[in-house]
Structure 1
Amino acid sequence: MKKIFVVFVFLSSTFSFSQKNISGFSVTYNKNIETYFLAEILSAEHRKNNKDFELYKMKECSVYQPVVKAALQKYERLKNSDIAVSTAKLNDILMEKYGSGNDVLMKPLMYHSEFPATDWINNYQFDNNNLTSTQNKEVTDLIKNYLSELSKFYSQENIEQFFKENKNFYNGGINEYSKQIPKGFTKAMEQFYGERFHSYTVLISPMMMWPIEDHEGRGIATEVVLKSGKKNIYEIASPFVKVEGQGQFGYDNQFQARFLSVHEFGHSFVNKEVYKRKDQLVKFKDLFKKSKLKEAMIKTGGYGDYQTCVAEHLVRLGEIQTARIQKDTERANKLEEYHLKNNFIFLPQLEEKLREYNSNREKYKTFGEFVPQLLEVFENSSVEFIDHQLNSIKK
């Protein structure tokens, strides 16, 4: 299963669903995100990196993603347009020079006011702790310039009309996803992590191409800090069910919808705690390379960085705990089994370690305060243990 993380912001949209207003949870879509993925479709033939995969995605997804098919039919004439070329160039540069995928574009897309607006919700700055401050500024400028182009593309080509023409499908997707979500899950997450955010928003993305296999799609997480200091967090979800008839919209699978939502929101609680403690993972950085874990994590979801491996483990730990708080034992057990089969070998040790956190919440008010203890699980491991656990999964 391939996943990516980092993204969010509540922008007005014609249709939205709210579990309960008090929970701050809603399901909607965002025109900036959809316009970007439209530009990405148009850019496929201009890519240098991953061109074969991009073309494969387009061919595959246009069969069972109606919005992708409609976009190709309406905008095929723009395959050699300036936005198609610049979108391909941007993604190639991000990958070649800065080691980043298109997931990093979701955050600035959400920091930008929803098209056709041209202003920004708050000041956006790219930040990757594997890059220098100069490199981070280069990426910031690169992305901001691109979003200016994308905004002009939206207006010049009247992309607004596309959303009006496909209004019923987007509305259907929102309603379909909304039916899969367990009530109160954001409260359970807040209870486990010991903190809360201003809003929790699922953004369906019928335009995002991701080949569907076994009802597995792609989720991207991100967040936006408002000028008030409040933080909105988001999950951007590709379809994970093939649309094969009327009344289907690509999101009618309860396990995947619940998994993606809790997972992607979980990154906003977890990532900030892991990445600021990079210096506490010196030994694990070496273990990650020397063992078979790096290769396994890349196959699992493209997780080729040791910090990402840790964050993904802790997010999955949070998924299981959230289900337990909701007294959904079946979901908790299914998640545990699912993740262990997908090479998240440290979960049993992390769950054992977590007993101290759960039984001592007076001392550990937030999950972040306990993260240093969880990092010890990774630091105190060995190549022999890691490889043995991975070999056991294969049997």
Structure 2
Amino acid sequence: MKKTTLLILLLFSLKSIGQQSKLKITIDERIETLYSVAFFNDYFLINNHENLYKNTLKNKLNILKNHKAVQLFDSLSTKYNFSYYRTVEWILQYSNFPEFNKTKNKADDYSTVSENKQFLLEEFKDELIKFNQDTLFQKYLKAVKPLNAKIISQVQNSTTIDELPSYLEEYYGKKLNSYNLILSPLLHAGGFNSEIINENGEKEVYALLGPNGEIDFVPYFDKDFIETDLILHEFGHSFVNPLMVKYENHVESLSSKYFTKELEKNGTNQGYSEWKYIFNELLLRATTIQITRQKFGNEKAEKLLNFEKSVGFELVENIVEILKEYELNRHKYVTFDEFYPILIERMK
């Protein structure tokens, strides 16, 4: 009898482990410290929604607007390309405050800022520690903890969010080592993808997302917005980006056919100016639409497609049609890697 009971408990435990979500959801103190500094600098990627975080920073911590960390962020972001995903990628290499030691590395070889300005990043690191440890800011972090818990709980309440890594792996035919979702109450209604190599040489994949609204001055992350758009898209970068690098010359060969002045303008409006990055975005948005179609239905997929058309990315629809060949022939193309060169040829 005892053996039977132990066996049942063991099986239950194994089942629970097997069902454990691959998606880790947090609000990260490092990111929030960085974006609080950015908020005081009127950084263009801070969201426009009035919320309790911003109101508290503005009304009770405004003295920190004169902090040297804010001044350094201004110089780095406006003069030395320390913006967009680069800020996130940089800070995720460091341990938590107050130590804030560099323990990890970027997955790519691009410099965060030019070599001759690295000393500014080092100075900014030291000032960011001081900013974080300021008594006022520590009180702020303590005050917003219940809000953080409320936001995370709201997002975790979804019945499908834990399934998203499986949806991605099923579509692309590959797996990632980790899925780390960081919610940022101060960030714009969008997101970034970052890849970090940890101490064990493993690649950690991050998606940083901002809210798309607020309810009673609490930042709100709409389920459809973050699931059928942002999460699938941002983690999708880690499946698609290496292929863009591998087939860069083939991708560039498409520019004469597709890279019109109008598309260049529309791409720049979306934050991308070079053809290879615009193409990568077009492809990612197309795969996101098709995963949404398979898992959430045609209505939501068509809504995403119509949005892409509205911002001048009509070419997404062409790529969607080509992707149907991949989807109907998975016995032939086990992974998306195998189909990528075929997609390039079809576009030619």
Q: The TM-score by the shorter chain falls in which range?
A: 0.7 to 0.9
> Mind listing any 5+ residue stretches in structure 2 that lack a counterpart?
1-17
**Distance between the aligned counterparts of 1:361 and 1:136, measured in 2?**
44
Q: Is the 8 A contact 2:252 2:275 kept in 1?
A: no
1:114 equivalent to 2:107? Answer no
1:312 equivalent to 2:298? Answer no
**Distance between the aligned counterparts of 1:355 and 1:124, measured in 2?**
34
Deviations 1:266-311 (A, max 9, x none): 1121122213432223333445654311112223x22222122111
Q: Corresponding residue for 2:5?
A: none
Q: Is the 8 A contact 2:107 2:196 kept in 1?
A: no
CA RMSD of aligned residues (A): 3.0
Deviations 1:199-240 (A, max 9, x none): 2222111123x3xxxxxx121221222232332222212221
SS of the equivalent of 2:95 reads coil
Counterpart residue type for residue 103 of structure 1: Y
TM, length-normalised to structure 1: 0.74
**Distance between the aligned counterparts of 2:108 and 2:158, measured in 1?**
33
Q: Corresponding residue for 2:27?
A: 29
Counterpart residue type for residue 186 of structure 1: P
Q: Corresponding residue for 1:68?
A: 54
Deviations 1:17-66 (A, max 9, x none): xxx8533113211111110111112223xxxxxx8x58xx68x54xx221
Q: Is the 8 A contact 2:252 2:276 kept in 1?
A: no
1:39 equivalent to 2:37? Answer yes
Cα distance, 1:377 vs structure 2: 5.1
Q: Corresponding residue for 1:330?
A: 299
Q: Against the structure 1 CA distance between its residues 141 and 191, is the aligned structure 2 distance closer, same or farther, given a 3 Å change threshold?
A: farther
Cα distance, 1:193 vs structure 2: 0.9
Cα distance, 1:110 vs structure 2: 1.2
Q: Corresponding residue for 1:266?
A: 236
Q: Against the structure 1 CA distance between its residues 89 and 135, is the aligned structure 2 distance closer, same or farther, given a 3 Å change threshold?
A: closer
Cα distance, 1:166 vs structure 2: 0.9
Q: Against the structure 1 CA distance between its residues 348 and 42, is the aligned structure 2 distance closer, same or farther, given a 3 Å change threshold?
A: closer
Q: Corresponding residue for 1:168?
A: 146
Q: Corresponding residue for 1:227?
A: 199
SS of the equivalent of 1:127 reads coil
**Distance between the aligned counterparts of 1:220 and 1:186, measured in 2?**
17
**Distance between the aligned counterparts of 1:376 and 1:151, measured in 2?**
51
Counterpart residue type for residue 274 of structure 1: M
Counterpart residue type for residue 32 of structure 1: R
TM, length-normalised to structure 2: 0.83
1:241-280 aligned within 5 A? 241-243=213-215, 245=216, 249-258=218-227, 259-280=229-250
**Distance between the aligned counterparts of 1:373 and 1:149, measured in 2?**
50
Q: Corresponding residue for 2:165?
A: 186
1:87-102 aligned within 5 A? 87-95=73-81, 101-102=83-84
1:129-208 aligned within 5 A? 137-138=115-116, 142-157=120-135, 159-180=137-158, 182-183=160-161, 184-208=163-187
Q: Against the structure 1 CA distance between its residues 360 and 205, is the aligned structure 2 distance closer, same or farther, given a 3 Å change threshold?
A: same
Aligned pairs, number: 331
Q: Is the 8 A contact 2:90 2:112 kept in 1?
A: no
**Distance between the aligned counterparts of 1:366 and 1:65, measured in 2?**
43
Cα distance, 1:348 vs structure 2: 2.9
Q: Against the structure 1 CA distance between its residues 225 and 365, is the aligned structure 2 distance closer, same or farther, given a 3 Å change threshold?
A: farther
Cα distance, 1:125 vs structure 2: 7.1
SS of the equivalent of 1:220 reads strand
Match of 2:212 among 231, 240, 250: 240
Q: Is the 8 A contact 2:67 2:131 kept in 1?
A: no
**Distance between the aligned counterparts of 1:275 and 1:101, measured in 2?**
22
Q: Is the 8 A contact 1:200 1:234 kept in 2?
A: yes
Q: Is the 8 A contact 2:266 2:313 kept in 1?
A: no
**Distance between the aligned counterparts of 2:112 and 2:214, measured in 1?**
43
Counterpart residue type for residue 254 of structure 1: K
Q: Against the structure 1 CA distance between its residues 285 and 94, is the aligned structure 2 distance closer, same or farther, given a 3 Å change threshold?
A: farther
Q: Corresponding residue for 2:266?
A: 296
Q: Corresponding residue for 1:79?
A: 65
**Distance between the aligned counterparts of 2:92 and 2:183, measured in 1?**
14
Deviations 1:339-373 (A, max 9, x none): 23332222332223223323443543322232222
Q: Is the 8 A contact 2:181 2:209 kept in 1?
A: yes
Cα distance, 1:159 vs structure 2: 3.3
**Greater Rg over alpha carbons, structure:** 2
Match of 1:127 among 109, 133, 136: 109
Q: Is the 8 A contact 1:111 1:121 kept in 2?
A: yes
SS of the equivalent of 1:264 reads helix
**Distance between the aligned counterparts of 1:365 and 1:143, measured in 2?**
43
Q: Is the 8 A contact 1:43 1:87 kept in 2?
A: yes
**Distance between the aligned counterparts of 2:120 and 2:249, measured in 1?**
29
Deviations 1:232-263 (A, max 9, x none): 222212221133x2xx6322522212111111
Q: Is the 8 A contact 1:233 1:268 kept in 2?
A: yes
**Distance between the aligned counterparts of 1:356 and 1:125, measured in 2?**
32
Tell me: higher relative CO, structure 1 or 2? Use CA pairs within 8 A at least 6 residues apart: 1
Q: Is the 8 A contact 2:192 2:207 kept in 1?
A: yes
